[in-house]
C-alpha cells in the first residue's frame, strides 16, 4: 500500500468522524436500555482509559436507573494498610447522554464525549 493511499484512507476516516462530532449541550440525559456483560465491559474500558488504564469495576446495572455515574478511586493499599492515608481526590462524575441514535459517556472534568458502540439508551426527563 502506498503512502498516498494510506494518507487518503486516514483522511477519509478522520473527516467522517469529524462530521459526527457533537457538543455535550446537544445531547440529552439517558439511561441504558440493554444492560449486559458486553455493555458493562465497554463502559469499564472507557472509564479505565480515562483513568490512564487503572482498573475499574462497574456493576452490570450501571446507568440503568440514572444517567449519573460517580467514580471514587480506591485508596492504595499495601499489606492491607493505606499507602497515602486518606483520599483527597474528589469523585469524578460522568453522565450518559444521547444524541439522535447514539449514546455517549460524558466526562464533565475534561468536557469530553466518549461514543459507546454497544450501548443502547433512551432519553429521560430530569426533575
Choice between 43 and 16, residue whose per-residue pLDDT is larger: 43
109-120 confidence digits (pLDDT tens): 999 999 999 999
* C-alpha neighbours within 13 Å on the C-beta side of residue 105: 24
Lowest mean pLDDT among 3-7, 42-46, 69-73, 102-106: 3-7
- Tell me the pLDDT tens digit for each residue of 48-107: 999 999 889 999 999 999 999 999 876 667 777 766 656 666 789 999 999 999 999 999
CA end-to-end span of the chain, whole Å? 55
15 occurs within a structural domain: no
User: Is residue 17 in some structural domain?
Assistant: no
Within-domain flag for 2: no
Give the burial string for 5-33 (b: 16+ CB within 10 Å, else e).
Answer: eeeeeeeeeeeeeeeeeeeeeebebbbbe
Give domain status of residue 99, yes or no. yes
Give the number of domains in the chain: 1
Q: What is the pLDDT of residue 25?
A: 83
Residue 96 to residue 71: CA distance in whole angstroms: 14
Amino acid at each position: 500500500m502506498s503512502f498516498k493511499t494510506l494518507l487518503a484512507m486516514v483522511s477519509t476516516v478522520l473527516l467522517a468522524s469529524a462530521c459526527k462530532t457533537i457538543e455535550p449541550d446537544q445531547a440529552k440525559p439517558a439511561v441504558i436500555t440493554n444492560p449486559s456483560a458486553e455493555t458493562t465491559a465497554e463502559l469499564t474500558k472507557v472509564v479505565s482509559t480515562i483513568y490512564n488504564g487503572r482498573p475499574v469495576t462497574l456493576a452490570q446495572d450501571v446507568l440503568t436507573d440514572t444517567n449519573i455515574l460517580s467514580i471514587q478511586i480506591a485508596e492504595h493499599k499495601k499489606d492491607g494498610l493505606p499507602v497515602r492515608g486518606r483520599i483527597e481526590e474528589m469523585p469524578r462524575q460522568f453522565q450518559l447522554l444521547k444524541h439522535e441514535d447514539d449514546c455517549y459517556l460524558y466526562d464533565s472534568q475534561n468536557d469530553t464525549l466518549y461514543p459507546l458502540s454497544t450501548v443502547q439508551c433512551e432519553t429521560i426527563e430530569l426533575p
